[in-house]
């Protein structure tokens, strides 16, 4: 499988030292929304997380009254969401047949309306929490506007054989066996990491189970910049489980055939994008002419 690394929401809030762990407190930090676009032979395109959507760029208040401004999302960058990046690669929106989400927070599920025909794979508890919005925390993190098109949900919950010692869902409906869900509740009620077998290594999309690359070395939050550490604790559904997940990721990182990354760490994103052979342009733009368009061949991906 060919895997593309996409940044579907670059954020540049003030507080570089507090967010990125370097520079000035008054300088702009950088965070990304790291998504994967996976080309499969028999299952079309699979998008792991979606970042924010086309409508979210047009009206950033859809993300909440303060988020877009506080996180300095540049609303002029209309090519930032997943859809224009997919099209820049030479595909159509209909080619994206599956959306596999780590969770349904608004900065991860904003692109759902841009792929209305795709099946949405998510943990059953996460779907239930997002649609019910029963607590104050859930009302802040989930946006019903992103679900009003009536997604085709494919929920999972039952665990199968563990993967590298981690509880796993090994058969997601309609997806190849090379894509696994690793339920890791804590950040949200039904959060999961997504593991992808590329043929030469495993990529593990950790979502928001951790916020900074130091976690995969230390196994805890002690190396995280203080602002990230505070935000992680503030918005966690169950912080005790978050801490347990940190330990799991540190153990997984010891495997030579496993590469782990989180949703918002820009260093992880730049490193993996460069390793994939896709040249990174400016922080907020992926130009169409930077990619070689690829069309599905006869019988491929349909």
Position 1 scores a pLDDT of: 82
Provide Rg for the chain, Cα atoms: 18
Judge whether 43 and 98 are in contact, CB under 8 Å: yes
What is the C-alpha separation between 109 and 55, in angstroms, rounded? 12
Please give the structure tokens belonging to residue 13: 């809030």
Please give the structure tokens belonging to residue 156: 């999972």
Domain-wise residue ranges, the chain: 2-279
How do the pLDDT tens digits run along the chain, 302 residues long?
899 999 999 999 999 999 999 999 999 999 999 999 999 999 999 999 999 999 999 999 999 988 999 999 998 899 999 999 999 999 999 999 999 999 999 999 999 999 999 999 999 999 999 999 999 999 999 999 999 999 999 999 999 999 999 999 999 999 999 999 999 999 999 999 999 999 999 999 999 999 999 999 999 999 999 999 999 999 999 999 999 999 999 999 999 999 999 999 999 999 999 998 875 443 333 333 333 333 333 333 33
User: What are residue 45's phi and psi, to 5 degrees?
Assistant: -90, 140
pTM: 0.91
Given phi > 0 = left and psi -120 to 50 = alpha, else beta, which region is 133?
left
Position 283 scores a pLDDT of: 35
The helix (H) or strand (E) run that includes residue 217 is helix 215-218
Position 294 scores a pLDDT of: 37
Contacts of 297 (CB under 8 A, 6+ apart): none
- CB < 8 Å & 24+ apart, contacts of 197-204: 197/1, 198/1, 198/3, 199/1, 201/257, 201/258, 201/259, 202/255, 202/257, 202/258, 202/259, 203/3, 203/36, 203/259, 203/261, 203/272, 204/249, 204/252, 204/258, 204/259, 204/260, 204/261
The matching CATH number, chosen from 3.40.50.11390, 3.40.50.10420, 3.60.15.10, 3.40.50.300, for 2-279 is: 3.60.15.10
3-state helix, strand, coil in the chain (%, to 5): 30, 20, 50
DSSP state of 278: P
């Amino acid at each position: 499988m060919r895997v593309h690394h996409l940044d579907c929401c670059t954020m540049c809030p003030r507080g570089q030292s507090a967010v990125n762990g370097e520079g000035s407190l008054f300088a702009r930090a950088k965070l990304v929304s790291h998504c994967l676009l996976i080309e499969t032979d028999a299952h079309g395109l699979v998008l792991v997380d979606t970042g924010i959507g086309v409508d979210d760029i047009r009206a950033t208040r859809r993300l909440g009254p303060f988020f877009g401004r506080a996180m300095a999302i540049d609303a002029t960058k209309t090519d930032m969401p997943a859809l224009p990046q997919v099209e820049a690669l030479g595909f159509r929106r209909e080619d994206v047949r599956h959306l596999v989400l780590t969770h349904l927070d608004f900065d991860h599920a904003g692109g759902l309306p841009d792929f209305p025909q795709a099946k949405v794979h998510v943990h059953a508890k996460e779907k239930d929490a997002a649609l019910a919005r029963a607590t104050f925390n859930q009302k802040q993190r989930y946006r019903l506007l992103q679900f009003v098109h009536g997604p085709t949900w494919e929920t999972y919950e039952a665990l199968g054989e563990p993967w590298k010692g981690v509880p796993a869902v090994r058969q997601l409906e309609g997806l190849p066996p090379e894509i696994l869900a690793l339920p890791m509740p804590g950040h949200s009620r039904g959060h999961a990491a997504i593991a992808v077998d590329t043929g030469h290594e495993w990529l593990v999309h950790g979502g928001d189970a951790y916020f900074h690359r130091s976690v995969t070395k230390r196994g805890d939050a002690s190396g995280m910049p203080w602002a990230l550490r505070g935000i992680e604790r503030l918005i966690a559904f169950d912080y005790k489980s978050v801490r347990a997940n940190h330990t799991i990721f540190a153990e997984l990182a010891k495997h030579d055939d496993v590469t782990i990354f989180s949703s918002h760490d820009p260093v992880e994103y730049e490193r993996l994008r460069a390793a994939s052979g896709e040249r990174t342009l400016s922080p907020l733009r992926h130009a169409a002419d930077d990619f070689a368009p690829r069309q599905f061949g006869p019988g491929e991906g349909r």
